[in-house]
């Protein structure tokens, strides 16, 4: 029992090395919710480390992390059948009615530690790693779409657009507008 406690303390110490002052919710999720979401099979969280420090440094620092989950994307009623067909990859209709939702992989969190520079870990590298995980899952079970929901911030939207995502709508989350963006993965 002591050994397990020491492991939990060590994990807590490692997780506490992550901070993100631009969005405290991102750090809060990692510190307080990621393990719970793992246990409930709601998502999987991937931690990014420097390999050298991981092997040699007793003060391990998380460089970044991302979380991947499944999501049902509710399509707006105003969306054309053509767009639905492009997203669905088949017909855009089911039982002679427009498809109302599509399954997708959600990148629920994606962030770099405040202590790590853009040069050390470019955001694009972190996103590529998240998409690699999604592609692995898609190879096993199928799926065509990856989705992110980000704050309505021009810098974030530009970053995701430059990396293959397109804005498809928005949603309200805790009183904040979250922009929904999709990327076809196959």
53 sits in which H/E element = helix 51-56
Per-residue pLDDT tens digits for 23-40: 889 999 999 999 899 999
Mean pLDDT of the chain: 87
pTM of the model: 0.87
Whether the predicted pLDDT of 175 surpasses 90: no
Per-residue pLDDT tens digits for 8-23: 666 777 788 899 988 8
Whether the predicted pLDDT of 2 surpasses 80: no
- Is residue 65 exposed (0-12), middle (13-18) or buried (19+ Cβ within 10 Å)? buried
Q: Sign of dihedral through CA atoms 115, 160, 171, 89?
A: negative
Q: What is the pLDDT of residue 58?
A: 58
Residue carrying structure tokens 């804005």: 167
Per-residue pLDDT tens digits for 93-103: 888 888 888 99
Per-residue pLDDT tens digits for 115-132: 999 999 999 999 999 999
């Amino acid at each position: 029992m002591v050994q397990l406690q020491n492991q939990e303390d060590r994990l807590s110490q490692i997780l506490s090395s992550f901070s993100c002052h631009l969005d405290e919710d991102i750090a809060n999720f990692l510190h307080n919710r990621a393990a719970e979401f793992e246990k409930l099979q709601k998502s999987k969280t991937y931690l990014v480390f420097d390999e050298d420090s991981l092997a040699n440094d007793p003060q391990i620092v998380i460089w970044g992390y991302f979380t991947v989950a499944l999501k049902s994307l509710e399509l707006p009623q105003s969306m054309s059948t053509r767009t639905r067909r492009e997203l669905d990859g088949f017909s855009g209709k089911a039982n002679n009615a427009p498809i109302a939702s599509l399954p997708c992989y959600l990148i629920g969190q994606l962030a770099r530690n405040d202590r790590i520079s853009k040069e050390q870990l470019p955001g694009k590298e972190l996103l590529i790693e998240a998409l690699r995980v999604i592609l692995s899952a898609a190879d096993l079970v199928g799926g065509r779409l990856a989705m992110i929901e980000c704050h309505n911030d021009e810098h974030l939207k530009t970053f995701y657009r430059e990396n293959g995502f397109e804005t498809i709508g928005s949603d309200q989350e805790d009183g904040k507008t979250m922009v929904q963006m999709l990327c076809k993965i196959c």
